[in-house]
């Protein structure tokens, strides 16, 4: 079994450039969530960094709409699985550039525009486990804050999580390697061979 690379967040440029597609990792430190509405807001409104209550530079943006419970002002994640990343493809390249994320995390990979942005800005795509939302929520040690909760609602707000040993695989690195694209190309090749028989 491959031993995961233990990464401490925020990530530096050298951290990211040492990662290669196929690396199994665990993330520990601060991450933020963002689904469609947060992406659209960051893309269209371009709020300055000092308007956002969390440090984004060097961080990881997790494509996740968590299910949360609250006891007073203290929140806890009950379910925190990844959402399909391609749904925010049209926004991601600009958001990586403007807010200097070093990691994007979700499921299913992303498109050519994001692949170029990863390469140009020293960022990687982490694929995490679909169908394991409760297990992933257990990796969240603390909910440090939330932004745009009243405006966007629970699943679309930006949550700030402290995670420990959060599992993922690098599937798109900053050198241009893209496992999702490789699998698609290989699948099409094999399908064409089967059709020809």
Contact 12, 60 (CB under 8 A): no
| Residue 105 · residue 81 · CB < 8 Å | no
Give residue 108's pLDDT.
96
Range 93-115 average pLDDT: 97
On average, the pLDDT of the chain sits at 95
Q: What gap in Å lies between CA 159 and CA 146, rounded to an integer?
A: 4
Are residues 117 and 92 in contact, defined by beta-carbon separation less than 8 angstroms? yes
Residue 1 has pLDDT above 80, yes or no: no
39 is annotated as an active-site residue: yes
Percent of the chain clearing pLDDT 70 (strictly above): 99
Higher pLDDT, 142 or 184: 142
Per-domain boundaries in the chain: 5-196
Q: Is the pTM of this model over 0.85?
A: yes
Report the C-alpha dihedral over residues 145, 147, 151, 157, rounded to 10 degrees. -80
How do residues 138-151 score in pLDDT, each as one tens digit? Answer: 999 999 999 999 99
Question: Span 50-54, mean pLDDT?
Answer: 96
Catalytic residue among 39, 63, 127, 180: 39
Please identify, in words, the CATH class of the domain defined by 5-196.
Answer: alpha beta
pLDDT digits (tens, 9 = 90+) for 21-51: 999 999 999 999 999 999 999 999 999 999 9
pLDDT at 183: 83
Q: What is the DSSP letter of 5?
A: E
What is residue 68's predicted lDDT score, i.e. its pLDDT? 97
């Amino acid at each position: 079994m491959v031993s995961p690379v233990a990464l401490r967040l925020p990530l530096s440029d050298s951290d990211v450039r040492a990662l290669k597609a196929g690396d199994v990792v665990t993330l520990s430190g601060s991450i933020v969530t963002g689904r469609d509405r947060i992406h659209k807001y960051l893309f269209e409104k371009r709020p300055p960094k000092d308007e956002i209550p969390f440090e984004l530079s060097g961080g990881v943006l997790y494509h996740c709409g968590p299910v949360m419970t609250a006891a007073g002002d203290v929140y806890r994640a009950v379910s925190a699985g990844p959402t399909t990343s391609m749904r925010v493809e049209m926004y991601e390249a600009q958001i990586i550039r403007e807010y200097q994320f070093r990691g994007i995390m979700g499921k299913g990979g992303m498109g050519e525009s994001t692949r170029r942005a990863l390469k140009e800005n020293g960022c990687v795509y982490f694929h995490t486990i679909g169908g394991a939302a409760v297990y992933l929520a257990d990796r969240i040690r603390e909910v440090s804050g939330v932004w745009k909760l009243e405006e966007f609602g629970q699943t679309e707000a930006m949550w700030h999580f402290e995670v420990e040993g959060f599992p993922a695989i690098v599937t798109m690195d900053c050198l241009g390697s893209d496992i999702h694209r490789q699998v698609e190309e290989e699948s099409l090749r094999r399908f064409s061979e089967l059709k020809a028989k």
